[in-house]
Amino acid sequence: MLELKDIEHFDLFDDPKANILIIYTGGTLGMDYDENGALAPCGFEQVLKRAPVAKELRINLSVISFEVPIDSSQVELNHWKRMAEVIYEHYVEFDGFIILHGTDTMAYSASALSFMLEGLNKPVIFTGAQLPIASPRSDARENLVTSLEIASDKNDGLPIITEVCIFFNNTLLRGNRAKKVESERFDAFESENYPTLAKAGITIDYEWSYLKPYSQSELKLNTAMDPSIVILKLFPGLNATTVECIINAPLVKGIVLESYGAGNVPNDIWFIDLLKKGITAGKLILNISQCNGGRVLHGKYQTSGVLDKIGVMSGGDLTTEAATTKMMYALGMFDNMSDIKKCLATPIRGEMN
**Residues lying near ligand ASP in the complex (CB under 6 A):** 27-28, 71-73, 102-104, 128, 130
Q: Between 72 and 289, whose beta carbon lies closer to ligand ASP?
A: 72
| Beta carbon of residue 201, minimum distance to ligand ASP (angstroms, whole number) | 24
Q: Between 189 and 194, whose beta carbon lies closer to ligand ASP?
A: 189
Q: Between 102 and 263, whose beta carbon lies closer to ligand ASP?
A: 102
Residue pair 203/229 in contact by the 8 Å Cβ criterion = no
| Beta carbon of residue 58, minimum distance to ligand ASP (angstroms, whole number) | 28
> For the residues of 83-104, what is the DSSP string, one character each?
HHHHHHHTTTT-SEEEEE--ST
Q: Does 146 qualify as catalytic in the annotation?
A: no
Burial class (CB in 10 A: 0-12, 13-18, 19+), 167: buried
Q: Which residues contact 86 (CB under 8 A, 6 or more apart)?
A: 4, 21, 23, 64
Q: Between 73 and 346, whose beta carbon lies closer to ligand ASP?
A: 73
First to last CA, the chain: 37
Residue pair 164/117 in contact by the 8 Å Cβ criterion = yes
| Beta carbon of residue 185, minimum distance to ligand ASP (angstroms, whole number) | 12
Count of CA atoms in the C-beta half-sphere (13 A) of 207: 11
Measured at the CA of 85, the angle between CA 80 and CA 90, to 5 degrees, comes to 135
Measured at the CA of 236, the angle between CA 235 and CA 239, to 5 degrees, comes to 85
Mapped onto helix, strand or coil, the DSSP state of residue 63 is strand
Catalytic residue among 25, 28, 105, 324: 28
Closest residue to ligand ASP: CB criterion: 102
Q: Between 70 and 117, whose beta carbon lies closer to ligand ASP?
A: 70
Active site residues: 28
